[in-house]
Amino acid sequence: MPIPVEHHSIIADRGKNNSPVSSDAVVPYWSSHLDSAASEKIVPHWHGCVEKPEVVKEVIRLLREHLREKGNASKQR
């Protein structure tokens, strides 16, 4: 199903750096990848990598980007 909002992907690959045939030990890359994602970050970890520094950094980057875009949209009104 189409995702009706802008979205991003953070995908783990167990550190093997072999996308698109990689896996995070739970889900294969091809099942995680979304062509419709505005961005995709591949991190060298297993499936439960939400606490890893590069994952946290990417989430913060995306949130800041979203806030900047919201701020610019408000200024244009």
How far apart (Å, rounded) are the C-alpha atoms in residues 26 and 5? Answer: 26
Domain total for the chain?
Answer: 1
Is residue 1 included in any domain, yes or no? no
Could you list the residue range(s) of the whole structural domain that residue 37 is in?
8-75
The rounded Cα 58 to chain-centroid distance in angstroms is 7
pLDDT digits (tens, 9 = 90+) for 44-72: 888 888 889 999 999 999 999 999 988 87
pTM (2 d.p.): 0.78
